[in-house]
A and B are shown apart, each in its own frame.
Chain A
Amino acid sequence: MGAGARPPYTNPIPQGLILTGIVVAVSTTALALSLIIRIWKQCGTIEADELREMD
């Protein structure tokens, strides 16, 4: 986006960045949640203290 752009136009780059960032964050969260669910299924708890005792 050059310097000549007039005010009604918004800079598309930050929007692209934010969108990509959101995609990344969503996939990270999805992975995290799936891991949490699997841990819950296997250990019956997601309490850090209890998990540590299980080791």
Chain B
Amino acid sequence: MEEGAHLAYSPLPALLVLWPLVAALFVVPLGRWRESIRNAFVVVATGVALLGATALIPLIATERRVTCEIPGLVGRLVFTVDSFSMLFALFTTFVWFCSTLYAIDYLKHEHARDRYHVTNLVVLAAMLGVVLAGDLITLYLFFEALGLVAFLFVIHTETDDAKRASIKYFWMTPIGGFLLIGGIFLTYALGGTGAIGPFPAEHGAETLRWAAFVLLLLGFGVKAGMLPVHVWLPDAHPVAPSPASALLSGVMIKAGAYGIFRTVTALFRPEVWEHIEETLWHFSSQIGLVVLWAGIATMFIGVVLALGQHDAKRMLAYHSVSQMGFILAGIGAAGYLGAEGAMGYAGGLYHIVNHALFKAALFLGVGAVYVRTASLDMYKLGGLWKKMPLTFLFTAIAAAGITGVPLFNGFVSKCLVHHAIVEAWELHEVWSLGVAEKIYMITCGGTACSFIKLIGLVFLGKPKAEYGPEVRDASPRMLGAMGLLSVPIIVLGWRPDLLLKGVFEPGLHTWGLESEILEHFLDVYFLSYADLMSVVWAFAIGFAVFFLGMRWGLFRLKAPEWFGVDHWYRRGAIGLVTACEAVAEGYEALRQLDSRGLRRLGVAYHAETDHADRAWRRFTVTLFTGATGLHAQYVIQEAYVALERERQATVHYAIDAAIRRLREHADTDQEHRRAMIDAVRDISSYTAMRLFKERMGVLSDTLHVSRSDDVRYAFARIAGELGAFRKPVAETAIDLARRRIEGENVLRETSAATNRVMSEERFDRRLDSAMPCAHRTARPIREALPSAAAVGDLRDRGLGTLEQTGKWAADMARLIVQAVTQERVTWMMADHVDTGSVALTRRQIQRYARDMSFNVAVLVVVLLAFLVALAGNR
């Protein structure tokens, strides 16, 4: 494309976009001050925008393309206007003007009027920004802004329906935006510069081209209500206030259509002056075919769904989907035909203009009905033509437009699209396009049927309810707005050459395409017999379906839920969420797993150390006590404590007895008393110690041959009896003490007295008799022991020596250890240390550090990876 050759500079496009934004700033202050002034102001503001757009006409007529640039804002905003952009700007501002005029009265029963008008102006700016944009970024910026701000239209009534619809809208719009910007990225990857013009020839792989195209198509298609991504549209358009519905359905979805139009006919076409070579058109004609079929599918499904609606606005919304199908089919045909696509261009764009006009008029008309009757259900309305004659008239004109009645605008564009499809069919003899043509005709019939239904049920027929005086014609301003819209519907029906020659021919020339075929159309086909007959056919189908449907209730059939794309989206979304959650859970499980693994490792380590610890402790205890079994050791531990207590009790008893004796003989002096008590303590301690050792010895010997439980039981039974020996010990001790004080050596007597006590006690026998079945348990053990002969045999073979040496060594070791650490036996027995101790705290800090160590391990791994990466690259 020759940059600059046709590019003249003019600030008008930028001003056109900025003006509504500036005007929007004044809406709220004016609204606070006086509503009527604000109303006048917004109408004037849109009127000025309309005038500005009109001022583009002479400019474009002389300059072909104008451009301007705002450098500072959001990177760089570029606006470029050619004939097609101008056309979009024109009908946009025109419909906007009518809708704003209408909204003033309509909104009287709505709230938040200031918000509506601000939204109205900002959305106008965004819409103009989209259609006047000079590069893809500018286009994207305004496109996204359009989607986001128009959200306020959808949510405006704040009913539950509106909230539900707006959530869906809010999901779809930015997702479309993401797809779009993805597509724009890829155009950069294809060597594009962001300008809305062809890429450098043959740059980038075919796959990349397709990917870019599909992303762009879907991104724009979301806004345009193209088939698989249309689901938000039938929900969102009807819930808005009627003038906003008119804008949403009439104008804003054209932003998407504009995008697709530019994608197919500007971005992916070959350079403007290279169109001589057929092969270069290959890719754009393929994507044209895709768009064509998307259009055919959209129009057919849209009309089928529209037939099942009873809410008038919802039906109109479905028709917007369907009519977008016509537009896409036209654009697709233009792309498919490549250099000869003038008919497609004309059809698609003509229908864009027409649809904006009549769909806006229809929404306004239905809105007027709603204002008066507060109902939108077609089956509950009727006979309104008498009560609202002018509303009926304008609605009927719009319906005539949309159904393609000759001499109304829809007729021209539908014929143009039809011719384009037929031309495409005949050009390459693709049979499938023949099918497309048939579907096209059926869809026209369906459209006719729908509007027969709308007009027939709402305005004609008998009133289904009694209407009071409040049901009268709409207010003058509303009627004025509808009337204004009706004018071009008729004019464009009578004089198609206005657009075809005035706009499309120069536009096509700018882009290097021929336009003779349009002349041909005007001369030959326009209002020809064949075209008229096709309309007759369409109406015939329409009437037939209408009467059959009304008779058999076909319009009330509900498609099963799985039939709707919406259903599958929801399923897909739920599936996606489930999958996401599964991944998150998996990750969590993995993290758990490794922390659990670490913990298990720690537990195993501790178990092992505990095990070793215990083995060591048992080993030492075995050394101390000679008892091998764990239970036996416990018994010894208990007995040790009990006997030790008994020992101390014995000594105390002896000392107490001595003191008592000394008190009785009060004559003794202090020094004598102290010497006496010391002597008693010495002697009784000796005896008690001997007793203690004897008893412990007996216990451990018994443990060798009996079950430890039996020993424990027996010891418990006899432990109480031991107290009986305190008294004899005490008496002997006092007796001997007195003799020791007198200077006698009582060592031998002490020993003898001790032996006497021991023989009196016979601890071993007591223990033996206390054991319930000692002989029974003792015998098998004795039998299991090697007999004397066997031991002798072993000794002969030399093994016994080893055994004996081992036993001796163990005994010696035991004695040594015992001698050194006797008091600590109990301490060694303790299974665990006190929980509050410092040692535990330290261990716990260590374990917390272990938990952190995973993080640190990750850190180290990353560090190593970096090192490897750096080293590997040298």
Contact = CB atoms under 8 A, between A and B. Distances in A.
A17 B315 CA distance: 79
B599 interface: yes
Q: Chain A's interface: helix, strand, loop or mixed, by majority?
A: helix
Interface residues of B, number: 9
B599 A47 contact: no
Interface in B587-612: 599
A3 interface: no
A36 interface: yes
Interface residues of A, number: 7
Interface string A29-46: 000000010001000011
Nearest to A40: B841
Interface string A12-55: 00000000000000000000000010001000011111000000
B599 A45 contact: no
A46 B599 contact: no
Interface string B843-874: 01101101110000000000000000000000
Contacts of A40: 841
A47 B851 CA distance: 9
A35 B118 CA distance: 55
B237 to A, nearest CB: 48
Contacts, number: 17
Q: Chain B's interface: helix, strand, loop or mixed, by majority?
A: helix
B845 A36 contact: yes
Interface string B608-650: 0000000000000000000000000000000000000000000
Of the candidates B847, B850, B852, the one having the most CB atoms from chain A within 10 angstroms of its own CB is B847
B843 to A, nearest CB: 10
Contacts of B848: 46-48
A47 B841 CA distance: 9
Nearest to A50: B844
A40 to B, nearest CB: 8
Contacts of A48: 847-848, 850-852
A32 B851 CA distance: 16
A54 to B, nearest CB: 14
Contact of A49 (B599, B845, B852): B599
Nearest to B851: A48
Nearest to A45: B844
A36 B844 CA distance: 11
Nearest to A36: B845
A48 B125 CA distance: 59
B50 to A, nearest CB: 63
A36 B852 CA distance: 14
Contacts of A45: 844
A46 B841 CA distance: 8
Contacts of B847: 47-48
A45 B843 CA distance: 12
A47 B847 CA distance: 7
A32 B9 CA distance: 67
A51 to B, nearest CB: 8
Contacts of A46: 841, 844-845, 848
17 contacts: A36-B845, A40-B841, A45-B844, A46-B841, A46-B844, A46-B845, A46-B848, A47-B844, A47-B847, A47-B848, A48-B847, A48-B848, A48-B850, A48-B851, A48-B852, A49-B599, A49-B851
- 4 closest A-B pairs by CB: A48-B851, A48-B848, A47-B844, A46-B844
Given A46-B844, A48-B850, A48-B852, 7 more contacts: A36-B845, A40-B841, A46-B845, A47-B847, A47-B848, A48-B848, A49-B599
